[in-house]
Structure 1
Amino acid sequence: PDGFEPYTDVFAELDEVRAFLESYPDAQPGFVDVYVPGFTAMDGNIRVELAVSHEPGSFEPDLIKVTCYTLDGDRLKTKYSVIEPFLTKPYCE
């Protein structure tokens, strides 16, 4: 969509994600998916949602999960990626 730069926007929001993870009330050992507040984008007729996995204890974002849905609610593909490759690869195919 106009004005939406997935890679730079995600990179800019990582500090906010980190702060959100630090305040996440149910953090337990193991990986936890936390949906980034307010991060949903439309790309044509596809809705893109972003979640971050972290290992509680460090609260450092570890993996990024991108889920794409059609307007009918069908899940097209879920992609996990470490942060750096995510910034250089398409988030939805």
Structure 2
Amino acid sequence: LRVVNSGNDKLVKVKFSPNGIYIATVNDKGTVYIWNLASNKLNKQIGGNQFKVINVSYSKDGNKIAVRGVDGRIQIWFLKSNKVFRIFK
């Protein structure tokens, strides 16, 4: 069991990676926080002011994450390297 600190923000989505390594939370401000469950540390923050996220989904192997913004853009990220794999507009 883990506790994820979302501060004062309301969480609107929570997704676990298929490999059980990560958990992604989306808050009501459109920011995604990706946490490493083994270390209980923040791995990546996506979105916020310029890119408000409304949905998040993992690849089947759990190594990539796709995030969709309110503007319809989709970004796919490698979780280990924290680099963008592809952006769809």
TM-score class normalised by the smaller sequence? 0.3 to 0.5
Give me the TM-score of the superposition, normalised by structure 2: 0.36
Higher strand share: 2
Give me the TM-score of the superposition, normalised by structure 1: 0.35
Rg (Cα) greater in structure: 1
Higher relative contact order (CA 8 A, sep 6+): 1
